[in-house]
Structure 1
Amino acid sequence: MRFLKVPFATPRRRLILAAAAVLLAGCIWFLWPSDARTASTTVTAEATSSTIKDTVTGSGTLEAARSEDLSFASSGTVTAVNVKTGDRVKKGDVLARIDTASLQAALTSAQAQLDSAETTAANDGSETASRRAANTAAVASARAGVAEAQDALDAATLKAPFTAMVATVDIAVGDQVSASSGAPTGSAGSTGTTAAITVMTPRSFVVTADVSADDVARLTTTMQAEVTPAGATDPLYGTVTAVGKVAEVSDSGTATFPVTVTLTGKQDDLYAGTSVDVAITVSSRDDVLTVPTAAVTTEGDATYVQKVSDGSTTKTEVEIGETYGPTTEIVSGLAAGDTVSYTRETRMPGGGTGGVTFPGGGELPPGFEGGTFPGGGTFAGGSLGGAR
């Protein structure tokens, strides 16, 4: 009788074993005691003297230091647009105009009414007191009409209110504008905004940062701030110019206060709308000696560090001051340049102690790299250890 010999480790079996091994390894990793998944490393650090800053942080968006939406206060047809987006203009420059024919006619008519009223008032000596009062009122009304017509004529021209850069232009020659909005009506080029032209200060920026209610009471104007745009590594500098007194409540119910920081100097590579982080300096101390907080140990009333000198470690008592997160101030017991050692706990990406073996072996599917399972056991080179 002949028997058919079937290989124990078929490709299908190998794949199943590999998947089971990885699944089992993951379960062991998450169920393994946390202290078995960390490693202790002894490290050293120098006591350093530096400037320590107490800061209040917030975030916000860059805005132009000054911007203004310009609109026509008269209705008419746009006859001239003298600027485009990005242009630089000086105060008083003419940016755009609308047709003035009807506005000029209205002014001429108002002036004629004023002339007539003044003539009548000049010849009312023989009239009654009430009639003379009426003539005087008519002159005043006519003068107001002239002033109004003159204002409407002046409003037919948009002028730059300050030296600026043109941010947006939402009108074109031929557009109809209304006195209520100043933006084109029924025009294909209209964006629906209320401004015909928007101008802003070039290279001068402010940021309004949201600061927590707990921190805003510590802030005053003239405090210095560091402003770091999104994606930048080096901060810019500014000054607090306004501290809001009315809280703004977010959707989550958190209350924050707006704090305005004006950037120092002219900025060539910044753009309005950029997100920034703000750190406002509340106080600053120079020449503060610090070591890593993890290097400081307290036992009873004594605080000490492990000082390293000439290759040996000595338990050295120190007096500490303020703690600044990862660093602690040393008031006495150490000098700048002294070295301390301490133990740092690190989480192990894999491994552990003990032994776990996976019978069956076989090749792992592509993509499985070599490594160590938690609790022992290895796989390397795409293969799973074990006897077939």
Structure 2
Amino acid sequence: MGRKKVIKIVSIVLVLVLLIGGGYRYYRSKTTMATQNPIDFTEVKVTKGSIKKSVSDSSVVESEKRQQLKFHKAGTIEKVYVEEGQQVNKGDIILILESGSENTNLELSKKNLEIEEKNLKDLQSDLNKIKIYAENDGIITLNDVKEGQRVQENGIVGTITDKDNMEVIAPFNLKAVENIQVGQKASVLLTDTFETIEGYVKKVSESSVALEGGGFAYSVTIEINNKGGLSPGMPTQVTVHTDSRDYQASENVAVSEKEGEDIRAQISGKIQALYVEDGDHVEKGELIALIDDTDLIDEIENQKIKVEQKQLDINDKIENLEDVAITSPITGRIISLDVANGDNVDMNDPVCVVADTEDLKVVLSIDELDVFKITKGQEAIITTEVFPELEYKGSVEKIAMEGKSENGVSTFDVTIALSDVENLKLGMSVDVEVIIAEKENVLILPVEAVRKRGKQSVVITSIGNTMEETMKNMKENSKTIEIGLSTANYVEIVSGLSEGDTVYYSKAISKNQSNNMRMPGMGMGISRPSRNSGRRN
């Protein structure tokens, strides 16, 4: 019995030792976990800003209309009518092969067409000349004209005299004139009353005049305002003020009225309407008279017929030269020219490339995962390293119905029509961003700050000093929110948070959540949160 009792006591002691050892190890494990694998939390404020979702790709600038022309028969080039970079219209002759005298007749017809087109342009410009305007302020004196009366081109309709201002034409020596300029200030002393009137230099004569006392001088015209006390013939002494010094006129001179300025008709025709009467005060730009345009319109219509006839004549000649003439199939610019006068050519040899350099496009290859986000009419922003400071605008014009597969990946062509093409050239490399959705002045958070809990979106609004406290706060203080537009970096907050609210997030937790991993166990250590300004990338 004594031996059994000893064995029993020893067994109890061993069990106690194992329990104590296991408990110690469990305690050590929990204590160690409190200092291992600390999780960094980032503190971020809900801010207002812009959020943009887009699809991007790189490509080159192309023309909506581009055609390469080739010879349809062999021969020798008689004449090339264009040069590289030249603008051409649809139907314009690019070149002609040698064929005989028909080409000379075509050249003559083209010259005749140019003459008739110029005559038409001149007549059309005359439509802008049927209105006669006052060219300055003043009192108008009509030149015995009335409505229904015919005036000739350059004929005088009336004269406008400026009664509000007068002139003093004073002589100055050569040294003074070399320093006097139009617009400089001048002082005019009335020698009878010793009153000084300020004026300015209106004109400096380039030719000299003889002085009464002998010698020569140059006339300088000074304009002064007539406030009512001036009259022609009043004696004056004139001084012009320059930057370097003042110059006094060589002789005293009298005040005179300003010379009237004639109003002339720019085209011939009957006066349809007069809008002023003799002696009226008119202002610069005021309508004085209107010339009847009936005859002019008839001339224009007749001239249009002449132009059409000349064009028909050329078309007939081109048809006769169809085998030897090459014409442009589109309106555009010659972007490359491969031939010259006298060249011997074979059938299908390249002639030139004609392209519309105003109607430009960019074709993107969009991944099949993104193409369904794109719709016609969406805005596109185009940039190029050639002009990094510029942004060009465009829009989605066409989306391919069929994709192209390469290495197991399908892409679809998306055509962007450019609305702004200044400085862009065909073949230039560009980066294109198609705007899928864009919002301004909305609440945003970094995308890492929002977690998914089932179908709900939640954020952490409070954490603790230990993992136990944090897990408790995450459960009790997690807030369900509604999100809107989301990008790779940011998410729009529709409801549930306000501007300035604080949110905490851990990239480690987000990663664990995204990998469907369970959160770390209770008792793990936690580091203090760092701050995030919320600045968008």
State the TM bucket, normalised to the shorter chain.
0.5 to 0.7
C-alpha spacing 1:62/1:200, structure 2 compared with 1 (3 Å): same
Distance 1:97 1:334, change over 3 A: same
In 2, Cα distance between equivalents of 1:325 and 1:218:
15
8 Å Cα contact 2:450/2:457 also seen in 1: no
- SS of the equivalent of 1:272 reads coil
Alpha-carbon offset, residue 207 of structure 1: 0.9
In the TM superposition, 1:200-279 aligns within 5 A as 200-230=355-385, 232=388, 235-250=391-406, 252-265=407-420, 267-279=421-433
* 8 Å CA contact 2:481, 2:497 repeated in 1: no
Tell me the alpha carbon deviations over residues 339-371 of structure 1, each in whole angstroms, 9 at most, x when there is no partner: 6565679xxxxxxxxxxxxxxxxxxxxxxxxxx
Q: Is contact 1:72–1:157 with CA below 8 Å preserved after alignment?
A: no
Distance change (3 Å), C-alpha of 1:337 and 1:264:
farther
Residue 295 of structure 1, aligned match among 449, 455, 462: 449
C-alpha root-mean-square deviation of aligned residues, in Å? Answer: 3.9
8 Å contact 1:208–1:261 — kept in the other structure? yes
Q: How many angstroms does 1:290 deviate by?
A: 0.8
How far off its partner does 1:50 sit? Answer: 4.0
Counterpart for residue 112 of structure 1: none
The aligned residue for residue 131 of structure 1 is: none
Q: TM-score if structure 2 supplies the norm length? A: 0.39
Q: Give the C-alpha shift of residue 166 in structure 1.
A: 1.2
Aligned to 2:99: 100
Match status 1:332 vs 2:495 = yes
Letter in 2 for 1:89: V
3-state SS of 1:294 partner: helix
Shift of 1:305: 4.2
Instruction: Tell me the secondary structure at the aligned position of residue 330 of structure 2.
Output: coil
Larger gyration radius, structure 1 or structure 2: 2
Q: Structure 2: state its 5+ residue gaps.
A: 1-36, 104-316, 464-472, 509-537
2:481 maps to 319
Between the aligned partners of 1:75 and 1:340, the Cα distance in structure 2 is: 79
Q: Supply the distance in 2 between the matched residues of 1:202 and 1:150 (Cα, whole angstroms).
A: 26
Distance in 2, matches of 1:321 and 1:172, equals 66
Q: Decide whether the 8 Å contact of 1:62 with 1:207 is kept in 2.
A: yes
Which one-letter code corresponds to 2:397 in the other structure?
Answer: T
The equivalent residue for 2:79 is 80
SS in 2 for 1:290: strand
Alignment partner of 1:174 is 2:342 = yes
Give distance in 1, aligned partners of 2:65 and 2:482.
48
Distance 1:155 1:72, change over 3 A: farther
Contact 1:318/1:334 (<8 A) preserved: no
Number of equivalenced pairs: 247
Aligned position for 1:68: 67
Q: Hey, what's the Cα distance between the residues in 1 that align with 2:458 and 2:318?
A: 82
SS of aligned partner of 1:161: coil
Distance 1:302 1:76 in 2: 76
CA gap of 1:153–1:289, structure 2 versus 1, over 3 A, is: same
- Paired-residue identity, %: 26
Task: Name 2:261's counterpart in structure 1.
Answer: none
Answer whether contact 2:89 2:330 (CA < 8 A) is retained: yes
Output the CA distance in 1 between the equivalents of 2:402 and 2:393: 25
Distance 1:69 1:297, change over 3 A: closer
Q: CA–CA distance in 2 between the matches of 1:331 and 1:342?
A: 19
When residues 164 and 286 of structure 1 are mapped into structure 2, their CA distance, relative to the original with a 3 A threshold, is same
Residue 334 and residue 217 in structure 1: after superposition, are their counterparts in 2 closer, same or farther (change >3 A)? closer
CA distance in 2, matches of 1:156, 1:254: 49
Q: Is the CA contact (8 Å cut-off) linking 1:316 and 1:333 kept in structure 2? A: no
Cα 1:41–1:96 change in 2 (3 A) is farther
- The structure-2 alpha-carbon separation of the partners of 1:286 and 1:302, relative to structure 1 and needing over 3 Å to count, comes to closer
Change (3 A) 1:257 1:150: same
Q: Which residue of 2 aligns with 1:18?
A: none
Contact in 2 for aligned 1:67/1:199 (Cα 8 Å): yes
